[in-house]
Structure formats: structure tokens, C-alpha cells
């Protein structure tokens, strides 16, 4: 039996654990959390009062033969092939898969911790998303400033989804005429990839949303309700919706150059092997791969690692397919891969329905039972075909 340690019980770790053959692998999962949050729901908790059951017990999502232990991993020694935890246990492994995701870090920007504690956000936790929803409920007109404070983001369309859903919410409540909506971004255009920007920019114009590009948040002055950028601009707000910077898990690696300065694990972009290690892999948001941080990527990467661990050839092609709710019951997908740049795909009602439907099948998808359906979807929407189909 191959002793396989999976660190992290989120999307990537769970799909991988459920994909490995129980006759071939002795699987132990170490996770610092008990509950698995369906993170895309944070958007709907914040902007449309969604209150379904978005957290499930991690144990309930795993095949029975997976040994789940709740403990925080503090260090990983890739040379000795051991993992140490906060409670003082040392785990040896034959194979290791890191799936520790990433989390927000408000301490990087002066003034952000206070601002975030007061107003919340829709990328950190359920409690923070509920806090933001509470402030949106209390908003009676004025300026809402919304955007990402650093380039690394979960699901690249999510900042724009936030601004478009805010616009929809204000219109519904009859507040749009007495409100300014300002979208700020560190990128030179509203959507960083040009083909998708051609879809997004007219949408923002049509809805009267102001855009500030090249806006890297430097600091926030909560007393004077102002956000300052490194480039020297400022935005005065009544309600700030600021997506904090993200960092990888606070784990010490040996050798230390297996992670970058923000604690993202450095890996081969095709084989997902951690730098300098033959038997250690990374999946999902925890890596520094040049692709979108999204559940879809975590899923595809988990499948690749499952194949490699079983001795079958497999490579990750950087494929992504991020659903993008553009408001008013329409949606689109951001589709691309390492070799195929993001395509231009217009919003439709069907694509919005697909996003909504996924929320219903997410928990089942973690079991791996829907893989054949996803395989067909990915084949049909492979970047070249999708470009032809959508334009
Ligand atoms: C608003 C929003 C909208 C989104 N929309 C979409 C979407 O539409 N489509 C899409 O595909 N993706 C979307 N995503 C992104 C998606 O949810 C994440 O990319 C995905 O959950 C990442 O999976 P993961 O397994 O890498 O990490 P996670 O699911 O975050 O899991 C990380 C796990 O690691 C554990 N862990 C962390 N540190 C340690 C440690 N030191 N020791 C032990 N365990 C540890 C955690 O407890 C957790 O169990 C969205 C995210 C947000 C916030």
C-alpha cells in the first residue's frame, strides 16, 4: 500500500482523496477545518441574502476508507518525507499532496484590517459575507467603492461579479439614481484578459459603473473614508467592498525555496510536482501555477495527480472555466488554458442557469461520480470550439 498524505480538506483535497483506489493507497487527510465551505456561495450570501446550507462536515464528503484527522500542518520536510502538525505528531509519507488553498490577509495593507472588520467582504468567510450583506441592507445611497486590492484572486471574474450584482441590487431597491458605483482594479482594464474585457467594458458603461484602472491599494484611511493607491489616486467612499490580498498556508517547508514569498507552493505547471520533490504534489489554490485559482482547476489538477500516483501518464494543461454572473439573470464563462488565451464569450441566460445548477451538484461532484459528465463538458467547451460557438 502507498502511504499517501493529503494536506487540506477543501475542493482539491476531497476530490483527490475520493479518486484514489482504496486497494492501492492508504490515504490520510490532515485538515485544519471541520467544515467544507462552498466558497462561490459567498457572493450570493453577500449580495442576495442566500442562506442555504453552504457548509458541510468534511467527513461526510469523503469515502469511508479515507482516514481524516483534524490537525493543522505546521511544517513539511520534502527531503525526509515527513509532515509535522501543531499537536506535535510527525507523519511519514510515501506520497504527499498539498491542497491547503489560500486565505485573505488584511494585515498587508494599512487600514484594511479595521475596514474589513467593520464592513466584511465576500472572499474571507461566511461571517464576513453576512457582515457585508448587513451593510448593503443598511445602505441608503452614496458611493460604493468595490475592487480587489492585489492581483491574486479566487475566481478571476468574482470582483466584477460583485460590482454587477451590487448594481442590480441598487436598481432593485430604487437606490441606483442616488448612488455612485466605483470599480477599482490593479489592471490596465476592467477585465485583465482583453477578449473578455471586450464583453465586460460595454456592460459597465451601460450600467453607469465608473472604473479606476491601475489602482493598487496602498492604504485605507477609515476615519476619512478614503482608499489611496500606490499610483497616487484616491477614492472616497460611503461603503467599501475591498477584497483583501491572499496568501498561502503558513507552513514551513524544507527546502524553504519550495514556496514563494506569499507562501504559494512552487510546482511544475504540467506535472504539479513540488519543486525539487519527486513524490510531492500540489493541487488547487495553494500553488503558484500560472492559471486561475478556481474550484474547476483544483478538480482537474486532482484528477491529474490521481492518475500520476496510480502510475498513469497525465499532465495539467492549465484549463480553466470560471462561471461569471453578469447580473440580471445572465452569465458567461471565462475559458482558457496555458496554450489557449481566454476567449470572448457573451453572457446568456443558459450560462447563468449552468452556474446556478452547479451550486446544486457541487457536493456530489466532490465524490467524483460526475467526472464523465464534466469530461464531456470540458471537451465540448475546449477553448477553440468555445470561441467558435460563442461568437
Ligand atoms: C466569491 C468566490 C466565488 C468563487 N466562484 C467560483 C466559481 O464560480 N467557480 C470555481 O471553480 N471556483 C470559484 N471560487 C474559487 C473556489 O472556491 C476555490 O478556488 C476552491 O475552493 C479552491 O480549492 P482548494 O482545495 O485549493 O482550497 P480550499 O477549498 O480553500 O481548501 C483548503 C483546505 O486546506 C485546509 N488547510 C489550510 N491550511 C492548512 C494547514 N496548515 N493544515 C491543514 N489543513 C489546512 C483548510 O482547512 C481547507 O480544508 C470562488 C471563490 C470565491 C471566494
Domains and CATH numbers, the chain: 2-101+249-316 (3.50.50.60), 108-244 (3.50.50.60), 319-391 (no CATH)
Provide the angle, in degrees to the nearest 10, between the axes of the packed helices 41-48 and 126-138: 20
- What residues contact residue 372 under an 8 Å CB cut-off, 6+ apart? none
- Please say if the pLDDT value at position 390 is more than 50: no
**pLDDT at position 386, please?**
45
Q: How far apart are CA 299 and CA 280, in angstroms?
A: 17
- Please say if the pLDDT value at position 105 is more than 70: yes
Q: How far is the CA of 102 from the centre of ligand 1 (A)?
A: 7
Share of the chain above pLDDT 90, in %: 90
pLDDT tens figures, 132-176: 999 999 999 999 999 999 999 999 999 999 999 999 999 999 999
**pLDDT at position 93, please?**
98
- Please say if the pLDDT value at position 12 is more than 50: yes
**pLDDT at position 206, please?**
97
- Ligand 1 atom closest to 36 (CA): 49
Q: How far is the CA of 287 from the centre of ligand 1 (A)?
A: 12
Tell me which residues have their CB closer than 6 angstroms to ligand 1: 7-13, 30-33, 39-40, 42-43, 72-73, 99-101, 122-123, 154-155, 158, 249, 251, 284-286, 293-296, 298, 322-323
Q: How far apart are CA 109 and CA 179, in angstroms?
A: 27
User: For 154, phi and psi rounded to 5 degrees?
Assistant: -85, 130
Output the nine-digit C-alpha cell for 363.
Answer: 457536493
Q: How far apart are CA 321 and CA 383, in angstroms?
A: 9
- What residues contact residue 329 under an 8 Å CB cut-off, 6+ apart? 349, 352
Output the nine-digit C-alpha cell for 41.
Answer: 456561495
Q: Are 175 and 141 in contact (CB under 8 A)?
A: yes
Q: How far is the CA of 297 from the centre of ligand 1 (A)?
A: 11
Output the nine-digit C-alpha cell for 247.
Answer: 496568501
pLDDT tens figures, 67-97: 999 999 999 999 999 999 999 999 999 999 9
Q: How far apart are CA 74 and CA 87, in angstroms?
A: 9
**pLDDT at position 388, please?**
46
When pLDDT is averaged across residues 231-256 and rounded to a whole number, the result is 98
Mean pLDDT of the chain: 95
Asked if the bond preceding 207 is cis, omega within 30° of 0, the reply is: no
Share of the chain above pLDDT 70, in %: 98
Amino acid at each position: 500500500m502507498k502511504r499517501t498524505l493529503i494536506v487540506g480538506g477543501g475542493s482539491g483535497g476531497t476530490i483527490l482523496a475520493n479518486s484514489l483506489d482504496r486497494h492501492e493507497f492508504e490515504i490520510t487527510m490532515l485538515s485544519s477545518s471541520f467544515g467544507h465551505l462552498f466558497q462561490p456561495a459567498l457572493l450570493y450570501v453577500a449580495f442576495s441574502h442566500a442562506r442555504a446550507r453552504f457548509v458541510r462536515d468534511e467527513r461526510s464528503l469523503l469515502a469511508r476508507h479515507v482516514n481524516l484527522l483534524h490537525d493543522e500542518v505546521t511544517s513539511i520536510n520534502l527531503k525526509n518525507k515527513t509532515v509535522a502538525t501543531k499537536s506535535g505528531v510527525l507523519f511519514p509519507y510515501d506520497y504527499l499532496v498539498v491542497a491547503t488553498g489560500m486565505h485573505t490577509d488584511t494585515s498587508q495593507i494599512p487600514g484594511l484590517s479595521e475596514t474589513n472588520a467593520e464592513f466584511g467582504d465576500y472572499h474571507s468567510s461566511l461571517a464576513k459575507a453576512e457582515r457585508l450583506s448587513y451593510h448593503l441592507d443598511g445602505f441608503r445611497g452614496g458611493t460604493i467603492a468595490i475592487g480587489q486590492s492585489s492581483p491574486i484572486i479566487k475566481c478571476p471574474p468574482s470582483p466584477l461579479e460583485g460590482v454587477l450584482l451590487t448594481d442590480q441590487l441598487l436598481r432593485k431597491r430604487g437606490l441606483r439614481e442616488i448612488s455612485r458605483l466605483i470599480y477599482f482594479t490593479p489592471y490596465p482594464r476592467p477585465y485583465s484578459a482583453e477578449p473578455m474585457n471586450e464583453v465586460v467594458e460595454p456592460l459597465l458603461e451601460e450600467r453607469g459603473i465608473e472604473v479606476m484602472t491601475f489602482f493598487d491599494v496602498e492604504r485605507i484611511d477609515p476615519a476619512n473614508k478614503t482608499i489611496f493607491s500606490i499610483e497616487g489616486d484616491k477614492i472616497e467612499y460611503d461603503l467599501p467592498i475591498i477584497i483583501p490580498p491572499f496568501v498561502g498556508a503558513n507552513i514551513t517547508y524544507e527546502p524553504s525555496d519550495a514556496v514563494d514569498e506569499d507562501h504559494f507552493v512552487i510546482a511544475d505547471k504540467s506535472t504539479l510536482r513540488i519543486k525539487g520533490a519527486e513524490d510531492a504534489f500540489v493541487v488547487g489554490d495553494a500553488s503558484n501555477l500560472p492559471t486561475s485559482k478556481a474550484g474547476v482547476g483544483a478538480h482537474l489538477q486532482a484528477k491529474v495527480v490521481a492518475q500520476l500516483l496510480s502510475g498513469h501518464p497525465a499532465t495539467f494543461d492549465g484549463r480553466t472555466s470560471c462561471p461569471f454572473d453578469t447580473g440580471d439573470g445572465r452569465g458567461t464563462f471565462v475559458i482558457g488554458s496555458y496554450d489557449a488565451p481566454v476567449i470572448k464569450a457573451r453572457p446568456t441566460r443558459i450560462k447563468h442557469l449552468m452556474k446556478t445548477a452547479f451550486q446544486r451538484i457541487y457536493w456530489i461532484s466532490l465524490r467524483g461520480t460526475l467526472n464523465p459528465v464534466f469530461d464531456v463538458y470540458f471537451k465540448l467547451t475546449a477553448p477553440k470550439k468555445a470561441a467558435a460557438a460563442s461568437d
